[in-house]
Amino acid sequence: MPMLTQEMLARFDVPGPRYTSYPTADRFVEAFTAEQYRQALEQRASAAGAVGGRRAPLSLYVHVPFCESVCYYCACNKVITKHHERAAEYLDALEREIELHTQVLGTGQSVSQLHFGGGSPTFLSDAELERLMGRLRAAFRLVPGGEYSIEVDPRTVTPVRLAHLASLGFNRLSFGVQDFDPDVQKAVHRVQPYESVAALMQSARELGFDSINADLIYGLPRQTPESFARTLQQIGELRPDRIALYAYAHLPQRFKPQRRIDAAELPAARDKIAMLSNAIATFLARGYDYIGMDHFALHSDALAAAKRQGRLHRNFQGYSTQPDCDLLGLGVSAIGRVGPTYSQNAKTLPEYYDALRHGQFPVVRGLALSRDDLLRRAVIMALMCQGHVVFESIEVAHLIDFRRYFAAEMAQMEQMAEQGLVTIEPDGLRVTPTGWYFVRGIAMVFDRYLQADRSRERFSKII
Convert the pLDDT of each residue in 64-91 to its tens digit.
Answer: 999 999 999 998 889 999 999 999 999 9
Domains recognised in the chain with CATH numbers: 1-23+371-463 (1.10.10.920), 25-329 (3.80.30.20)
Residues making up the annotated binding site are: 61, 67, 71, 73-75, 118, 151, 178, 190, 215, 249, 335
- pLDDT higher for 118 or 459? 118
Residues whose CB falls within 8 Å of the CB of residue 43, separated by 6 or more in sequence, listed in order = 49, 338, 339
- pLDDT higher for 274 or 111? 111
pLDDT at residue number 52: 45
Residues making up the annotated binding site for [4Fe-4S] cluster are: 67, 71, 74
- Residues 32-55, mean pLDDT to the nearest whole number: 79
Total Cβ atoms within 10 A of residue 7:
8
> What's the CA gap between 379 and 447, in Å, rounded?
10
pLDDT at residue number 48: 41
> What's the CA gap between 374 and 225, in Å, rounded?
41
pLDDT at residue number 455: 53
pLDDT at residue number 324: 78
Q: Is the pLDDT of residue 95 over 90?
A: yes
Proportion of the chain in helix, strand, coil states, percent, rounded to 5: 45, 25, 35
Phi and psi (nearest 5°) for 142? -80, 115
* Helix (H) or strand (E) segment spanning residue 152: strand 140-152
Residues making up the annotated binding site for S-adenosyl-L-methionine are: 61, 73-75, 118, 151, 178, 190, 215, 249, 335
Average pLDDT score over the chain: 92
pTM of the shown model:
0.91
Q: How many CA atoms lie within 13 A of 220 on its CB side?
A: 27
* Helix (H) or strand (E) segment spanning residue 246: strand 242-247
Provide the pLDDT confidence category of residue 315 given band limits of 50, 70 and 90. Answer: confident
Most confident of 4-18, 270-284, 314-328: 270-284
Total Cβ atoms within 10 A of residue 300:
10
Question: Quick check: 271 and 224 in contact, CB under 8 A?
Answer: yes
Question: Quick check: 166 and 128 in contact, CB under 8 A?
Answer: no
Residues in the chain: 463
Provide the pLDDT confidence category of residue 317 given band limits of 50, 70 and 90. Answer: confident
